[in-house]
Amino acid sequence: MARYSLHAVGTDRPGIVAKVTGVLAEAGCNLEDSRMAILSGQFAIMLVVETPDSMTAIGLEESFSAVQAEYDLLIVLRPLVTQEETVDLGETLSVSIHGGDRLGIVAAVTEAIASLGGNIVDLTTHKIPSVNGASYVLLLSVESGPQTGEQRMREELDIVARRLGVTCVVHSGTSDLL
C-alpha cells in the first residue's frame, strides 16, 4: 500500500467534500488523516490517504479529472515516505494569542516557538473585523520540545506578546481554547 498527501483548493461550494471523498472511496483508498476548512471563501482540503497496491499515483490523479473540472479545484498529490518511529517532543501546550491585527504576529510567535525547539502541531488564525479596526486571534497546539517546559514557553511568548501589543495565554494540554 502506498500513502499520499492530497491537497485540494477551490472556491467553496456545497458538495466538494462528498465528491473528493467519493473518488477516494471508489478507488479503494483509505482516508487516514484530514483537515478541511473555508479560508476567505476558498475551501482547502489536506488529506493523507492509503491506496491499494494496484493504484498508481498517475491513476489516482486521473481519477480526479471530472471533479477538478466540475468544481474548478486545484488538486496536488504527493507520495509520503514511511515515517521512522516518532520521538517524544515534550509536553503538549495550547497557546492563544489575541489583540489588534498587525503585520508579523504569526511570524514572531512561531519564530519564538521554533527557537525553543517547539513543534507546531496545529495553527489557526482568525481576523475579526470591527468598527474600531480588526482584531486577530492565533490559536496553536505546540509540542514544547524536550528541553522546554510550559513555564519557559510562557515566559518567551509573553515577551513576544508585549512587543506586539497582544495578549498571550499558554495552557498545558490540548484543551480547545476557541
Domain count across the chain: 2
**Mean pLDDT of the region 33-45:** 94
Residues sharing a CB contact under 8 Å with residue 125, sequence separation 6 or more, in sequence order: 106, 136, 137, 138, 139
Same domain for 9 and 63? yes
> Between these two residues, 102 and 147, which has the higher pLDDT value?
102
**Rounded Cα gap, residues 26 and 35, in angstroms:** 20
Domain-embedded: residue 123: yes
Least confident range from 5-14, 116-125, 145-154: namely 145-154
**Mean pLDDT of the region 105-127:** 94
pLDDT for 80 beyond 70: yes
173: DSSP letter: S
Structural domain for 28, as ranges: 2-79
- Strand ranges in the chain using DSSP code E only, listed in sequence order: 2-11, 30-39, 42-51, 74-79, 92-100, 119-128, 135-143, 166-172
CATH (domain of 31): 3.30.70.260
The residue from 79, 102, 125 where one domain ends is: 79
**Rounded Cα gap, residues 90 and 171, in angstroms:** 14
pLDDT of residue 85: 59
Rounded to two decimals, the pTM is 0.79
**Mean pLDDT of the region 56-69:** 94
